[in-house]
Amino acid sequence: MTAIRVLVVEDEPLLAEAHSAYTERVPGFVVVGVAHSARAAMAALRANAGGDVDLVLLDFRLPDLHGLDVCRALRAAGSSVDVLAVTSARDLAVVRTAVSLGVTHYLLKPFTFAAFRDKLERYADYRAQALADGEVAAQHEVDQMFATLRGTAGHSLPKGLDAQTLDRVRAALTDGTRPEVGLSATEVSALTGISRVTARRYLEYLVTVERAARTPRYGTPGRPEVEYRPR
């Protein structure tokens, strides 16, 4: 599948660099440009007639124009480029307007890499379904597309698990110093400060929802230890 091309729009250079680095760490995504103002973003997107940008990571609090105004201008110009809002704006009126303007996801700052990665992976799953040939066979296929994008149906955590701890466990996996060999529940426990048993519960949940893979680790006395890698 062709890589999803991303334009990062963020006025703070360090944050723009961080968001670009995060994006490049998610398989299937590539950063094709960075803009530090609404004007620069619009110029880049006007040059997008050939479809060089698939997704815009858009900060709303830009120095020259609000991100919502950028969205309005895009839609007025007939652009269907997808937008992921990456912002500290918590005003519900802003959120409602973002939804009405077709913003795909809304990610509040500050956030972990795990949360960021989850948004991009969900978008990639949705995009793969949306761009498939043919037509949907039944209502449940449409429902599944929206559930994939919005993280609604089928994505509530099992009893006893919470989203914040899940983010910490996923961050431990994706930020591990030895991604090539994976991490055991004991190692994730040490990185996150939760018990080994709790770490294993979260890791097994990630395996169940296909966000992690489980493999045996050989080379130690006794039974092989189980290690986990992000998917």
| 78-87, 98-107, 160-169: least confident range | 160-169
Average pLDDT over residues 79-86: 93
How far is it, in rounded angstroms, from Cα 66 to Cα 54?
21
Structure tokens at 170: 């996923």
Q: Residue 195 pLDDT more than 50? A: yes
How do 212-217 and 225-230 pair as beta strands?
Answer: antiparallel
Cβ atoms of 94 and 106 within 8 Å: the answer is no
Q: Residue 213, SS3?
A: strand
Q: Residue 10 pLDDT more than 60? A: yes
Digit-coded pLDDT (tens) for 38-75: 999 999 888 765 568 999 999 999 999 999 999 999 99
